[in-house]
C-alpha cells in the first residue's frame, strides 16, 4: 500500500491517509512500515501464521514508538529480539527490548483479519510508557 501517493479524488486520498496510521509510524521524522518489521520477524520464525503484530504508541521524544504484540507460539520476546538483531532492518525500525508484550491471542475481526484498531488499543493499554 502506497500511503503517500497522490490520488485524483480528494475524499479517497483523505481516507487512505487516515488508514496509513495503522500501517506506518512516523518515528523521528521517518516513516517506518509496520509490515517490514512483521515480515522480518515472521521470516526469522519461518512461519506465515499470525503469531505477532506490530503497531505503535505515542512517544514524547520521537513521535511514535513501535510495539510488538506476540503470542506464546512466537517463541518469546528474546527470540524475536535476536531475529531483529541479525536482520537488515535499520536501527530506527527495530523496537526496543521493552516494547515486546506477550498476549494470549491477537484481536481479530469476524472476517478473520487482524483487528488493527484493537491491536493499537491493546498496545496502548499494555505499554505504561505511552500513558500521560
Which has more confidence, 4 or 48?
A: 48
Task: Give mean pLDDT, residues 56-71.
Answer: 93
Q: Is the pLDDT higher at 118 or at 22?
A: 118
Torsion of the alpha carbons at 12, 17, 21 and 25, rounded to the nearest 10:
150
Residue 93 has pLDDT above 60, yes or no: yes
Q: Is the pLDDT of residue 8 over 80?
A: no
Burial of 52 (0-12, 13-18, 19+ CB in 10 A): buried
85 contacts 77 by C-beta, under 8 angstroms: no
Q: Is the pTM of this model over 0.75?
A: yes
Predicted confidence (pLDDT) at residue 30 exceeds the cutoff of 60: yes
Q: Quote the pLDDT of residue 5.
A: 43
Q: Where are the domains of the chain?
A: 10-130
β-pair type (63-70, 100-102):
parallel
User: Any idea which fold 10-130 has?
Assistant: GMP Synthetase; Chain A, domain 3 (3.30.300)
Under the banding of pLDDT at 50, 70 and 90, the label for residue 47 is confident
Distance of alpha carbon 117 from alpha carbon 105, whole angstroms: 15
Say if residue 100 is exposed, middle or buried (CB neighbours under 10 Å; 0-12, 13-18, 19+).
Answer: buried
Amino acid at each position: 500500500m502506497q500511503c503517500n501517493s497522490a490520488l485524483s479524488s480528494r475524499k479517497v486520498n483523505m481516507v487512505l491517509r487516515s488508514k496509513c496510521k495503522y500501517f506506518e509510524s512516523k518515528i523521528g521524522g521517518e516513516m517506518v512500515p509496520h509490515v517490514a518489521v512483521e515480515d522480518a520477524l515472521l521470516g526469522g520464525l519461518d512461519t506465515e501464521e499470525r503469531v505477532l503484530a506490530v503497531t505503535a504508541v505515542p512517544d514524547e521524544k520521537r513521535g511514535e514508538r513501535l510495539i510488538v504484540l506476540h503470542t506464546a507460539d512466537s517463541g518469546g520476546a528474546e527470540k524475536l529480539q535476536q531475529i531483529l538483531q541479525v536482520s537488515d532492518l535499520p536501527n530506527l525500525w527495530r523496537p526496543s527490548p521493552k516494547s515486546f508484550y506477550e498476549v494470549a491471542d491477537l484481536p481479530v475481526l469476524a472476517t478473520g483479519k487482524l483487528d488493527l484498531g484493537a491491536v493499537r488499543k491493546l498496545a496502548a493499554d499494555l505499554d505504561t510508557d505511552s500513558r500521560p
